[in-house]
């Protein structure tokens, strides 16, 4: 069977919709089209039943109760609701938040917004692997601290944080702990009770569900978390998030969560093997390659590599039939190196030479082997044009 091109290795950006998820959604896109808030007829009842089943499926995946799940349009909204919602609700208690500079922009930007409005934010510096330690968090807590927001796993380098240890510190000091688990949910085990998580953000499109739907876990007791809503009008979702529910999308999120719960352990083993096959296959044939992120405490399907003396954007152009992402992001008219890579101490030159490969449910060994060939060919061709590489080969890198 011939390999289908292009090969998709950008699962951390988004995932394809699993056909089983689509099948679960289809009735709510066609015959069962009711509004879940319509309580007077069967169309509304069916929609509401679909939503509540999905809520239970989401809760089950993270060890929560269904009533703890607040439905949103995705992790960006969930992060904003958690961070701003806590900050506003507990403003009289304190004005101090703790986070890190390598969080997703959907956490960084709300924190910067709050800084502009009189709140104080401590930005904890990660180690060279991208890890934030519980000791760092403990040292940063003051009597004015109301929220800690640290991600479960980094979207660019895949590094997994010691979430349970951070949760323990948070609860010891009676501070709420928000965890952006967008990249972790469905890939590695997450248990909000065991890990001491008070608020958790997740998104459907990272786990083979539809785009535009997500959820926020909000702890109801031990301790109870209260939020100031950010979206007014109708009092949906326990008054925390008004708006007509995206029933089909929510059903899709629930189905995606159930599939992940069933298949996660086996899939993690398979993806780890493929990830390591990709890494080993490249470094066996290409020199001056650096792994970014933790060597072992890392998501099963993520490998971020820097190829010295090669521009990441140029390498991507050389391998047009392999969908990956680079360590640069287009901002205005310039290419800025990844703030995550710079945040863990990677030089601008190496950050510009980095590529993130993220694997997923439909990645095959044949695709990995094809990607290896494309990377090796592309790097070799680009380095032939590099005077810096030539100097390095002669033993006098500049």
The residues annotated with a catalytic role in the active site are: 330
CA distance 347 to 354: 11
> Helix-strand-coil percent breakdown of the chain, rounded to 5?
40, 15, 40
Beta-bridge partner residues of 343 = none
Q: Are 388 and 311 in contact, with CB atoms under 8 Å apart?
A: no
**What is residue 134's three-state secondary structure?**
helix
What the block records as the tokens of 209 is 């569900």
Residue 157: HSE in the Cβ half-sphere, 13 Å Cα cutoff: 33
Phi, psi for residue 69 in degrees, rounded to 5: -95, 120
Cα torsion 238, 241, 244, 248 to 10°: value is -90
What is the enclosing helix (H) or strand (E) of 313?
helix 312-318
| Helix, strand, or coil (residue 186) | coil
Axis crossing angle, helix 105-116 with helix 75-89, rounded to the nearest 10 = 30
C-alpha–C-alpha distance, residues 304 and 130, integer Å: 12
Cβ contact 327:338 at 8 Å: yes
- Strand extents, DSSP E, 134-269: 145-149, 176-180, 199-203, 214-218
């Amino acid at each position: 069977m011939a390999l289908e091109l292009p090969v998709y290795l950008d699962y951390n950006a988004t995932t394809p919709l699993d056909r089983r998820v689509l099948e679960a959604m289809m009735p709510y896109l066609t015959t069962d089209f009711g509004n879940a808030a319509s309580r007077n007829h069967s169309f509304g009842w069916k929609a509401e039943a679909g939503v509540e089943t999905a809520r239970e499926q989401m809760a089950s995946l993270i060890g929560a109760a269904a009533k703890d799940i607040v439905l949103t349009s995705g992790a960006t909204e969930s992060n904003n609701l958690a961070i701003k919602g806590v900050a506003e609700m507990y403003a009289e208690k304190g004005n101090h938040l703790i986070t890190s500079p390598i969080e997703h922009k959907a956490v960084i930007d709300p924190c910067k917004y709050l800084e502009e409005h009189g709140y104080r934010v401590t930005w904890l510096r990660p180690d060279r692997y991208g890890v934030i330690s519980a000791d760092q968090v403990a040292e940063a807590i003051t009597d004015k601290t109301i929220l800690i927001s640290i991600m479960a796993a980094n979207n660019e380098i895949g590094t997994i944080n010691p979430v349970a240890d951070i949760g323990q510190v948070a609860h010891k000091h009676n501070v709420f702990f928000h965890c952006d688990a967008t990249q972790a949910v469905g890939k590695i085990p997450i248990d909000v009770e065991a890990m001491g998580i008070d608020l958790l953000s997740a998104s459907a499109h990272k786990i083979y569900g539809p785009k535009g739907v997500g959820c926020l876990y909000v702890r109801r007791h031990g301790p109870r978390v209260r939020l100031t809503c950010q979206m007014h009008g109708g009092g949906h979702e326990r008054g925390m998030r008004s708006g007509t529910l995206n029933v089909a999308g929510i059903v899709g999120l629930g189905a995606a969560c159930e599939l992940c719960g069933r298949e996660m352990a086996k899939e993690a083993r398979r993806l780890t093997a493929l990830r390591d096959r990709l890494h080993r296959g490249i470094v066996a044939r290409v020199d001056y390659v650096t792994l970014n992120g933790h060597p072992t405490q890392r998501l099963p399907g993520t490998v971020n590599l820097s190829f010295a003396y090669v521009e990441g954007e140029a390498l991507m152009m050389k391998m047009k039939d392999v969908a990956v992402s680079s360590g640069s992001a287009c901002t205005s008219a310039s290419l800025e190196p990844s703030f995550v890579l710079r945040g863990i101490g990677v030089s601008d030159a190496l950050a510009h030479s980095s590529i993130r490969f993220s694997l997923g449910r439909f990645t095959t060994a044949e695709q990995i082997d094809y990607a290896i060939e494309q990377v090796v060919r592309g790097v070799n061709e680009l380095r032939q044009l590099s005077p810096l590489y030539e100097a390095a080969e002669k033993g006098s890198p500049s």
